[in-house]
Amino acid sequence: MRTSDRLRNITGGGSDGWDVFYRARKMVADGKNVIELTIGEHDIRTHPVILDAMHKAATAGHTGYAMVPGTNDLRDTVAKRIQDRTGVQTTRDNIVITPGGQSALFSAHLAALETGDVALYCDPYYATYPGTLRGAGGVPIAILCKPDRNFEPEYADLKRAAKGAKSLLINTPNNPTGVVYSLETMQNIAKVAIEEDLWVISDEVYDTQIWEGEHISLRQLPKMEGRTLVVGSMSKSHAMTGSRVGWICGPEDTIADLINLATHTTYGVPGYIQDAATFALNAGEWLEQEVGNPFSRRRKIAQRIIGGQNIVRAIPNSGAMYQMLDIRATGLSGEEFANALLDQELIAVMPGESFGNAAAGHIRVAMTVPDDAFEDAMERLCSFAQSTLS
């Protein structure tokens, strides 16, 4: 028997550019002291008060089937959070709870696409985006976002790509670049979406990690509420990556259809995990700040060290837990630089090429190790870059 083409072709074939990550993990398993600045996994774990709430909910008996759309308490809490942040009226009927942000991305595209529809996304991109679009039946087409434009999509490129397309996936604050899209960029996205009748799937899982400027949710712009599906998650805001709880916010009729999808796929999220998420969201901003503050500190460390030399250049990162670095002055590709850095300094970073074509000649640094180790790694990284010119 043969597996379906949809699954066999989900990765698109070829290398996924993550060889450095896999090599680093093998070196760690072999006992080498590698500083891993690769993936977006917090160096702290879920706060004990959240785990306590989860434990209490489980021991109180909320371990059976939960409501498939999500508990009323969590849906109401998420709706209020979104309304308070955006000013757009939002109720539980605009919310479906999902097993994490990745499930939300997949489900949102199933809602937006018919089989064979063109689905746009911005390059550089989070690694799973093209496969998610293929898995949902779409034909993924990348929009190249240029380094000299701070990796933000331009109106002309959006307009050109949107002809005949059905959806556009955006991510701000952005992984891998750490860029927060400007108001001008968001207005351009909205303009093209309206002109070309696009669904926009807006991945906003880093919306609590803003270091400069302001996060703008596309749904709050004029005429966008009815054509935007917003993806959110507890993973990055509350370090609940393993709990797998996220959501989609969108028009009521589409959310009703997505609830039908959940009934026939995931059958909901465990109730005790939803109760813990509800507790976390209602606990106040101190929890989000405790998760986010280390990345704000490390961003300043990176800026200070990079500012003391002229080989490595930092892409201005206004949010998220990443720093994208331009290493083209070394004459090496991102993959060459990352592999040599791993071999010579035992520091693991992600090549820009892992995230598409636009970030070739760059590397992504995840700011996810303690401050002293991060400072040491950044100093050695910059020294290594200098040594490549010798």
- pLDDT (average), residues 257-265: 98
Q: In the prediction, which pLDDT does 120 show? A: 98
Q: Single out the residue of 342, 365, 377 nearest to residue 30, CA to CA.
A: 342
Give the integer Cα–Cα distance in Å for 19 and 40.
17
Which segments of the chain does DSSP mark as H helices, in order?
5-8, 19-29, 48-59, 72-86, 101-112, 129-135, 155-162, 183-196, 252-263, 271-282, 285-306, 334-345, 371-387
pLDDT in tens, 137-159: 999 999 999 999 999 999 999 99
pLDDT band at 14 (very low <50, low <70, confident <90, very high): low
Angle (nearest 5°) at CA 66 between 61 and 67: 145
Q: CA–CA separation, 69 vs 257, rounded Å?
A: 11
Spacing of C-alpha 186 from chain mean position: 17
Task: Judge whether residue 15 has pLDDT over 60.
Answer: no
How far apart are the two ends of the chain, measured CA to CA in Å? 57
Cβ-based neighbours of 136, under 8 Å, separated by 6 or more:
106, 109, 110, 113, 119
**DSSP of 247-299, one letter per residue?**
EEE--HHHHHHHHHHHHTTT----HHHHHHHHHHHHS-HHHHHHHHHHHHHHH
CA 126 to chain centre: 6
Band (pLDDT 50/70/90 cuts) for residue 16 is: low
Q: What pLDDT score was predicted for residue 17?
A: 66
pTM, two decimal places: 0.95
The radius of gyration of the chain from alpha carbons, rounded to an integer in Å, stands at 21
The band of 329, judged by pLDDT with boundaries at 50, 70 and 90, is very high
For residue range 276-295, list pLDDT tens digits in order.
999 999 999 999 999 999 99
d(CA 313, CA 285): 33
38-320-262-227 Cα dihedral, nearest 10 degrees: -130
Same CATH fold, 64-283 and 5-45+286-387? no
Percent of the chain surpassing pLDDT 70: 99
CA distances from 134 to 114, 117, 127, 199 (A): 11, 10, 13, 16
Domain covering 64-283 assigned CATH 3.40.640.10 in the classification: yes
Q: Give domain limits for the chain.
A: 5-45+286-387, 64-283
Cα–Cα distance, 92 to 74 (Å, whole number): 9
pLDDT at 183 over 70: yes
Looking at domain 5-45+286-387, its CATH architecture is: Alpha-Beta Complex (3.90)
Sign of the torsion angle spanned by Cα atoms 156, 160, 166, 167: negative
φ, ψ dihedrals at 40, nearest 5° = -85, 60
d(CA 170, CA 203): 6
Query: Range with the lowest mean pLDDT among 14-18, 81-85, 261-265, 291-295?
Result: 14-18
